[in-house]
Structure 1
């Protein structure tokens, strides 16, 4: 029997939790891809009433003039490196991330920040995050991680945090795979500045709650002054990612309402 993340484990012997929600293994054993515009995680794209293939998160349409549009789009996604598991189930990777979640949920002496940094160090595919502000320590860790994998984030800044803008925007050559979109608060836009706090690693584990990606917030969480929840149910991880990260990321995209795929320019139609 596998228990949901919301289950009260305090009444169980030794407060044991599942290493990882194994019900979600079947989901990971399917091909998962990012939408080009919003980076939403999708097991498959859908068709609208006009039979056009589209992303259900941001609504962008993938238009191709071909008798086999699904095959063309699959090739396009592979050419653009939008597939991130491609039917490869890495059990050891799942176990490693699950062990971190288990320890965070059962060992009160295991620092939350240590668990996050360990999970980040194990990331193999991507890290996506949103935060209100960010500490230099976390930014450094993300820059280090992005030497190997894509890291993309949305950082909202209050008027007192604009000093972070140069560090977030001016040194992209140091870590080309790190892409951060800063949003600055003004008296005109405070009501639309994202306030959600979410970190998703490889589509397998998510950290959510009230804590910004700052050292102060994560240390306050150790004293129950901030809330941080570790999610390992893949359905919930994907839901959180698509709702709270992808919908905002789409606003920064240069893609419009449709992506025209040129059948003749695809690299490998045999894929």
Structure 2
């Protein structure tokens, strides 16, 4: 069984696809809205049939609100995308026969955030696990992600592929399916703030059996993305999930026996 990533924290189902607006105001306190900047890390090479891990930090006193992972090929699958202290971490598994690259992406802001996490869940080989992480009362989720990635690199680690990483108001939901030979540990992390945020979902992208496809959703005019992800059937597994200047983009592969849908999900705020 792998050990879970160690991160700095303050303390310690599926979701419908309509836009969800959550506004939280602290009595007697003005809501301060800060700029959000997308920072792209250095690409890392991952060898065939091997797991890899990396991260990208925020700078200049900024902190992560959310983040994601970009990859170079269809044979790379996400196993972790999570807030790692002042950085954003990314784990992948390359099941292809050629070397690939993956790149962490973080959204950084001076807006105050805290990190919360859900309980750890044991995911046996061949099984699917789901863990929710909740913000404190009066706060909302700005970003987050699940961690069932590699404790090290190698051919026998990190084969629990993400099939859901998305908000649900004050929570973040992470889901993986374990394709590895041993049990995995799943934990979901959420970044929380008292600043109002709004979440949006894309329309469905239909993926034929064995097909890879993309889904994208934009924030509304005057808003910027703070985090995001996506969801679908547990058999639709993420190849990449990352912010753009206007929203969030997903790419996933349908490992199911029938055609299935993929949805992108983005969390936005007005800077």
Query: Normalised by the shorter chain, which TM-score bucket?
Result: under 0.3
TM-score normalized by the length of structure 1: 0.25
Q: TM-score, normalised by structure 2?
A: 0.25
Radius of gyration: which is bigger? 1
Structure showing the higher strand proportion among its residues: 2
